[in-house]
Amino acid sequence: MDARRGLSSRRRLLLGLGAPLLLGAAGLGYAVWPEAESGEKVRTDLGPLNRRFWTALGDVSGAHWLGYSNGAPLSETADDRSVPSPDSRMRLVGVAHLQQGTANRIMRDPAHHFEVSSLAGLPVPLKPYVPSSAAWKQSETYDKVALEEGLSVIPSGTFRFDGIRDLVYFDYVFLYT
């Protein structure tokens, strides 16, 4: 009988020590996991981007992007995990490669006056995918025309192009239905 009691005491001791150690290890793993820092996962799938931007940009490749509920925080310091917003707008922000020559073809269109621009407010998770030496150009008229093409609800946003690398940076808000 004493042998049984000793065995169950050891099990209780091991459970008493093991459970907190396992929970602590799981918490530490979550804290150091790359996505846990910002709560934002960089996506690389192309389907949603090609469906949304095809008429304006053609097929994109090599994309790195984030998708947010418009009520969600999107800043360098944001780490707000709260109740989802009733706002049904979605925001897509990211960078993608265009087919060769597409960026220069778009920027040469005389209907749009492209000017040198910067990427203010770039989300931290995207920084590794955006070349620091990119020469970004933007046109407000291009943004307006490109975003209203074929859509029943006019979204808002901007496109910036780097003609040297055939890159597009997009920051786009649309009504999610």
pTM beyond 0.95: no
**Tell me, what's the pLDDT at 153?**
52
Q: Could you tell me if 160 and 134 are in contact, meaning their C-beta atoms sit under 8 angstroms apart?
A: no
Q: What is the mean pLDDT of the chain?
A: 76
At 143-169, the pLDDT tens digits run 888 877 555 455 678 999 999 999 999
Q: Render 75-87 in DSSP notation, one character per residue.
A: STT-----PPPS-
Beta-bridge mates of residue 52: none
Residue whose entry in the numeric block shows the structure tokens 């920051």? 171
pLDDT in tens, 100-139: 999 999 999 999 999 999 988 889 999 999 999 999 999 9
For the ranges 34-48, 52-66, 68-82, 92-106, the one whose mean pLDDT is highest:
92-106
Strand positions, DSSP E, 37-176? 60-69, 89-98, 115-116, 137-138, 156-162, 167-175
Q: Which two tokens stand for residue 75?
A: 């800043």
